[in-house]
Structure 1
């Protein structure tokens, strides 16, 4: 009788450990899921494994992959930014307008990145200095940034940009688009920085326990403001690169992009409660979401159903995060 009781207690314990191990090795689990999608889709349609399809997926996900770097860092600090899509569109539009006005290309690009930094600074001040909830603050700046982009262009795309501006967006190196090379370089750079530099480790301390971080001498508000500025600059960079690829500034670009970025970051291991997540994991989350979208497109699934799927993926990712939390306590 006692052996049966022990067996019943051991079975859930073993299952619990297996589930916990899978959840805590999120990057490996994601990689296996990505490989699973690739294998499954290769049997469904012969076009999925084509070089042209992978090139299109890789180039198409570059804005999300760049922005998710900042989002993962913000989530690790205990915050988030819902204005990233609008900041990307505003930066794209402003750079295009500056180029049409005859502003030199380097100056226009720098001003576009500064615009993203200002948006991040505003978010940081509203959240840290004034004490507005990140949800409310970034929803407000999201609406403002999108509104400014629409006012400047009256809702129309800004085209006829100088041909030289499209170099980065169109060029390739050894058959690999420069956009993809730049994005992968940023992923590697920031992943190493997050793992090995003192500043980014402070972000994790703040997200894990803000009071303890303050008592240990970390300037919490300053670090958080810098994190928001960095996220704004990355969103602006994504907008500049998008404008270079499309050769136009689009005020409606990045609509609902923040949902995909959040979903990818949380799927990759970031926690809405802060203190967790890696840049590599967030990037794998972007790849996972991009492959899901690509698979549904190839299967002729309606764009409206794609939105439902992404929303469901986000909910499942958050539920997964809560399960990990409960398993670790």
Structure 2
């Protein structure tokens, strides 16, 4: 019996290690486990945590971040990133609100806000690919410009008194679920499937993994990157429109610091700052994870300033874990 037990141990250990390695490598499974753990722990600490109203508030609050992280995840996969998303979100919400106050029909105003986001995104792409400016510097500059324009247009004040019908986008429910949450889920599902099954979005991963090899294989790296930056700008603008509809005001200070949360969520979800990795589903689960951490700290009466420290620490840990996993693989 002893010999049998000893001989079976070496066979079991590799299987256990393979299972553990697969669990760590598949970031979505790791995040689901962490999310479930947070829910179980908080359910014991605070019964209100499991209430429908709390989950609804968390879902509605994280919707703009979840929409923006879609574009950020694809950009990271291609080897780039965008720090201007929060400012684009604020500027688009402000411009849409001002157009509505001027009597512009809602569809036209919303379209104008999305076009503005696309223009800023394409500008970022041109700065990075055309002029060869580092994405950090290029998007940091457009972040400051977009935020400055929003503040100049409004003199720092929110634009309110919007048409009542505009609230439907951000406040209405369908079957008991907020429209803003349903729109977010549809976008996540659509882009996750598109990234997995369409040739164009798969090119982003080839570019991020090896740009020179991608060029030699016939991929138009410049065109793909410009389109991806434009898409990120559109998604940031859409998040701004939905936020303006929910708050019924265009706020020039909206989205301040959201780029940190978006980056943290994308990296936690499996995206790499070196490019070539990550999924939309993983990035979305990263947003859920970060939102639950914020909600947990709020319910435990943790100061908002400590929440910022925790999110920064989570980002550092996520990047460190990503680097450790990469070094182990190589």
Instruction: Give the TM-score, by structure 1 length.
Output: 0.95
Report whether the alignment pairs 1:63 with 2:50: no
Query: For 1:319 and 1:19, how far apart are their aligned partners in 2?
Result: 19
Query: For 1:23 and 1:69, how far apart are their aligned partners in 2?
Result: 22
Query: For 2:249 and 2:325, how far apart are their aligned partners in 1?
Result: 43
- Residue 321 of structure 2 is matched in structure 1 by 320
- Residue 55 of structure 2 is matched in structure 1 by 54
- Residue 287 of structure 2 is matched in structure 1 by 286
- Residue 214 of structure 1 is matched in structure 2 by 215
Deviation at 1:327, TM superposition (A): 1.4
Deviation at 1:15, TM superposition (A): 8.8
- Residue 31 of structure 1 is matched in structure 2 by 32
Deviation at 1:91, TM superposition (A): 0.2
Query: For 2:206 and 2:101, how far apart are their aligned partners in 1?
Result: 45
1:139-154 pair list within 5 angstroms: 139-154=140-155
Q: How many residues align?
A: 321
SS of match in other structure, 2:49 = coil
Deviation at 1:193, TM superposition (A): 0.1
Report whether the alignment pairs 1:81 with 2:82: yes
Contact 1:97–1:158 at 8 Å: present in 2 too? Answer: yes
- Residue 116 of structure 1 is matched in structure 2 by 117
Query: For 2:289 and 2:246, how far apart are their aligned partners in 1?
Result: 23
Output one character per residue of 1:169-189: Cα deviation in whole Å (capped at 9) or x when no partner.
Answer: 111011100111010000000
Report whether the alignment pairs 1:196 with 2:197: yes
Output one character per residue of 1:198-225: Cα deviation in whole Å (capped at 9) or x when no partner.
Answer: 0001010000000000000000000000
- Residue 104 of structure 1 is matched in structure 2 by 105
- Residue 224 of structure 2 is matched in structure 1 by 223
Q: Which runs of 5+ in 1 are unaligned?
A: 1-6
Query: For 1:212 and 1:30, how far apart are their aligned partners in 2?
Result: 32
Query: For 1:19 and 1:313, how far apart are their aligned partners in 2?
Result: 22
Deviation at 1:17, TM superposition (A): 5.2
Deviation at 1:112, TM superposition (A): 0.2
Query: For 2:131 and 2:239, how far apart are their aligned partners in 1?
Result: 28
Query: For 2:20 and 2:237, how far apart are their aligned partners in 1?
Result: 39
Contact 1:89–1:249 at 8 Å: present in 2 too? Answer: yes
Output one character per residue of 1:258-297: Cα deviation in whole Å (capped at 9) or x when no partner.
Answer: 0000000000000000000000000000000000000000
Deviation at 1:328, TM superposition (A): 1.1
- Residue 91 of structure 1 is matched in structure 2 by 92
Report whether the alignment pairs 1:22 with 2:23: yes
Q: How big is the alpha-carbon RMSD for the aligned residues of Structure 1 and Structure 2?
A: 1.6
Deviation at 1:23, TM superposition (A): 2.4
Deviation at 1:20, TM superposition (A): 3.5
Deviation at 1:16, TM superposition (A): 7.1
Deviation at 1:90, TM superposition (A): 0.3
Query: For 2:135 and 2:17, how far apart are their aligned partners in 1?
Result: 34
1:128-277 pair list within 5 angstroms: 128-277=129-278
Deviation at 1:156, TM superposition (A): 0.5
Q: Which runs of 5+ in 2 are unaligned?
A: 1-8
Deviation at 1:131, TM superposition (A): 0.2
